[in-house]
Structures are given as structure tokens and as C-alpha cells.
Amino acid sequence: MDEQVKQGEIETGNGKHLDEETLFVVSQTFKALSDPTRIRILNLLCSDEHSVNDIAEILDLSQSTVSHQLRFLKNLRLVKFRREGTSLYYSKDDDHIMNLLKQAIEHATHN
């Protein structure tokens, strides 16, 4: 490994170095995309914002499950929300991840 690489950094194939925090965030992002329920939620939010109740109804999930998964996704800044009265409306917060998700779906459905 290059002597100039600081301890805790890992060199990538493109010559850039990733620190431990970046590695953790990237791994958590892929963890988010590895769960079928979170993929379903993100796919739904790709096109429009939805309330927790709407997401639960459309995807046939419990509100508790949806809220739990949205909290996980919000902590990773993959989704954001706005409050309207007592309802929370969620939408995508990161086009990079949504594009990655769309590409993965296209790959999976490509013949």
C-alpha cells in the first residue's frame, strides 16, 4: 500500500482513498438496498411522495413495518419527509441511490 495512504484508508481501483466513515456509509447504503421491503418502498417513492398510510396500503404492509423501514432510510438520507397536519409524507432524497436502484432493477429484468 502507498506510504502516503493514511492509516484507516483503503485505496480503490480508481486511485481514490476511502476513509472508514465513507466505507461505513457505503456499506449501510448497500445494506439498505439489500432488503426487499426497503427496495419496494424506495421504488414506490421514486415516482412520487406518499404518506406512511399510503405506503402501507399500496404495499400491503403494516404501518409499523413501514415506519421502521422509513426511519432506517431517513437516517441514511435516502428519503426525506414533510409534515402536513398529523401526517408525514415521504419522498426520495437522493437521486444517486434512486438511479442505482433503477439500474439494478433494469439489470434484474433484462433478458
**pTM confidence score:** 0.80
Map out the domains of the chain as residue ranges. 35-109
Q: What is the pLDDT of residue 91?
A: 97
Residue of 70, 84, 76 whose CA lies nearest to 42: 70
Can you name the residues that pair with 91 across neighbouring β-strands? 80
**Does domain 35-109 fall into CATH 1.10.10.10?**
yes
Q: What is the pLDDT of residue 12?
A: 53
Residue of 32, 23, 35 whose CA lies nearest to 78: 32
User: pLDDT tens digits for 36-66?
Assistant: 999 999 999 999 999 999 999 999 999 999 9
Q: Give CA–CA dist 65/28, Å, rounded.
A: 19
